Amino acid sequence: MTFVMEIWRVLEGRNIALSWKCYMLISRALSNGGYLEEALHLVKFVGENNRISFILPLYNSILSACAKMKDVRLFNQCLDLMEDQCLGKNEVTYSALLKVCNLIQAVIICFCAGYLIEN
C-alpha cells in the first residue's frame, strides 16, 4: 500500500487532478489493505478541498471497511468528519452503522456474561 500512497503524493505534488473514480479506487485499495487511517486521511483531504462532489460514497466505503475490520474508533472518526462536512447519510451508511452497533452489542453481551459468570 505504500505504493498507492506514494503515487497519490506524487500526483498531488505535481497538481495533477484526479477524477472521482480514481479517489474511489485509491480509498478502496487503502481500506481493503487495512490502511483505514490513510484512507480516512485521503477522504478528509478530498472533502476539505472540495475536489469532488460525490464524497459520500468514499466515506461509505471507509465506514464499511471499518465495520468489517471492527474498528469502532475510526468508524466514529469517519462519522464525525461526515458531520463536520455536513454530509447526509444513505442506506449504505446506515447499514455500516448497524454492523458496528451489532458488534458493540455483542461485546457488551460477552462482557456482561463474563461478569455474571465470575459473580
Mean pLDDT confidence for 69-92:
84
pLDDT of residue 54: 66
pLDDT of residue 75: 85
Q: How far apart are CA 46 and CA 22, in angstroms?
A: 12
Whether 16 has a pLDDT exceeding 60, the answer reads: yes
pLDDT of residue 14: 87
pLDDT of residue 1: 58
Banded pLDDT at 112 (limits 50, 70, 90): confident
Mean pLDDT confidence for 75-91:
83
